[in-house]
Amino acid sequence: MKEILPLFVFIDACGWEIIKDRPFAKALAPNRKRLTSVFGYSSACVPSILSGAWPVEHRNWCYFVYDPANSPFKSLRPLRWLPQRLTSRRIFRRWLSKFIKVQLNFRGYFDLYNIPFKYISLYDFTEKRNPLQPGGMNRGPNIFDHLEHRAIPYHVSSPNRSEKDNLDALANDIRNERIDFAFLYWPGLDGLMHSVGNQSAEIAAKLNLYERWLEQLLSVTGQHYAETRLHIFSDHGMANCDQLLDLKGKIDALPLIMAEDYAVVYDSTMARFWFFNDYARQQVTQCLNHVQEGRIVPDSELADLGALFADRYFGELIFLVNEGVLIVPSHMGERPIRGMHGYQPTEKQSHAVLCTNDTRIPDQISAIPDIYRLMIRDAEDAAARNSLANGSKPHATMSDQFHTQPGRYNPAVRA
Ligand SMILES: [Zn+2]
């Protein structure tokens, strides 16, 4: 029997608005708090949770960037001759994405989405490593680097396994009392709500299943650890997409040539532009200023959100739509989906959540990168207590866990 297990359960897209009026996990983790999310998609939020850093610091933000010199996709250009009715099909693209991922040795999540083969060799993909592993960040360390460095034994989910298989793998490590820290990742609710929206009855069913799994897991933990410090949390919420915006149609109608005058990535809620002449910059800016469904995000706001990149690596101009608007068609999808996230983090459905069985959540914990500090605190605590009970020399403790200003990017203390 070990003293304590810190158990961090990450439920993707389980936003504050999704669970605030539901009894989900209240008996297991009664202390709840709304957290501010990070501007971007899971490609930005997950690395921020795992590293305590903001996008400008870890440089994991949006998946695709204009970078022809470094594009790994040059070999795909001949595919532009294939008929579009084949190349725009999700099943074909999923199969091809898997093939490319192996060929290019990408370690994280990879999907070609809806990037046209005509332009694919203009782009680079920015998540070549797996953020759920040590060395997984584009810049700086994550929690797993820390655990390895401190020789604290841990368990982390693998994105290649199903949710249930990841649950079973963790239960095994708990039964063996092998670990002093656990990180369980469930992406299924996110996928579900992308297709059914945030009001469907299927959400309650999914949350009930998660609750049953958590009860089973805690009952196993209770037989092997005297205490379980449970944290259930998310990266963002989910908004219903009630309004569709054909932004590409508007930009294509301008007297400009893609790849000669400008380049663009159409994400689902953002369009990111690179300009090759002033005329293109002026034309696109003027056009975007007339689109009521969104706005150009000023640099001052990007800086506040920790997403202003000095080298403009992710785009020189960022256009963002209002909550509930979906850019379609986009480079993420040809057809509409019911739910999306990646809006301004202050929008209602953007907020994430933290639920714990700890007696209190420190006031300093207010945004999702702060979860990293809880993980460090609890991992250190568990390593010390478990090794002390075991009669071995305790790990040295960390002292400066809560020195930064909570809730927002603060370059003065985070640089
Ligand atoms: Zn998602």
**Tens digits of per-residue pLDDT, 62-111?**
999 999 999 887 777 777 777 777 777 777 778 777 777 777 777 666 67
Residue 303: per-residue pLDDT: 98
Cα(386) to centroid(ligand 1), Å: 37
Mean pLDDT on 36-53: 97
The residues with which 354 forms a beta bridge, in sequence order, are: 33, 233
CA of 191 to the centre of ligand 1 (A): 6
pLDDT computed for residue 107 by the predictor: 67
For residues 189-193, average pLDDT: 97
Question: Tell me, what's the pLDDT at 28?
Answer: 97
**Residue 153 Cα, ligand 1 centroid: separation in angstroms?**
30
Report CA Rg, the chain: 22
Cβ–Cβ < 8 Å for 296, 317: yes
Say what the pLDDT of residue 412 is: 52
Residue 316 dihedral angles phi and psi, to the nearest 5°: -85, -30
272 burial (CB, 10 Å; 0-12 / 13-18 / 19+) is: buried
**Helix and strand counts by DSSP (H, E) for the chain:** 14, 16
What's the 111 CA to ligand 1 centre distance in angstroms? 13
Answer for the pair 309, 56: CB distance below 8 angstroms, yes or no: yes
Separation of first and last alpha carbons in the chain: 42
pLDDT the model gives residue 98: 79
Q: How many angstroms does the Cα of residue 42 sit away from the middle of ligand 1?
A: 6
Give the pLDDT score at 101. 75
The stretch 28-35 carries a mean pLDDT of 97
Compute the distance from residue 408 Cα to the ligand 1 centre, in Å: 22
Q: What is the maximum span of the chain, computed from C-alpha positions, in angstroms?
A: 74
- Ligand 1 centre from 123 Cα, in Å? 22
The overall pTM is greater than 0.85 = yes
* CA–centroid distance, residue 186 to ligand 1 (Å): 12
Q: List the structure tokens of 225.
A: 């650890």
Ligand 1 centre and the CA of 341: distance in Å? Answer: 6
- The model's pLDDT over 379-408, given as tens digits with 9 standing for 90+, comes to 999 999 998 877 765 555 444 444 444 556
Specify the amino acid at residue 294: G
Both structure tokens of 9: 């359960």
- Residue 414 pLDDT grade (very low, low, confident, very high; cuts 50, 70, 90): very low
pLDDT 10s digits, 370-380: 999 999 999 99
Whether 88 contacts 334, CB under 8 Å: yes
* Structure-model confidence comparison of residues 390 and 277, the more confident one: 277
54-68, 96-110, 203-217: range with lowest mean pLDDT: 96-110
Under DSSP, is residue 315 helix (H, G, I), strand (E, B) or coil? coil
Q: What string of DSSP letters covers 319-372?
A: EEEPTTEEESS-SS-SS--SEE--S-TTSGGG-EEEEESSS---TT--BGGGHH
DSSP summary character for residue 139: S
Three-state DSSP at 14 gives coil
- Worst-scoring range by mean pLDDT, 118-127, 142-151, 250-259? 118-127
By percentage, how much of the chain surpasses pLDDT 90? 78
Give distance in angstroms: CA of 333 to centre of ligand 1.
13
**pLDDT value of position 404:** 44
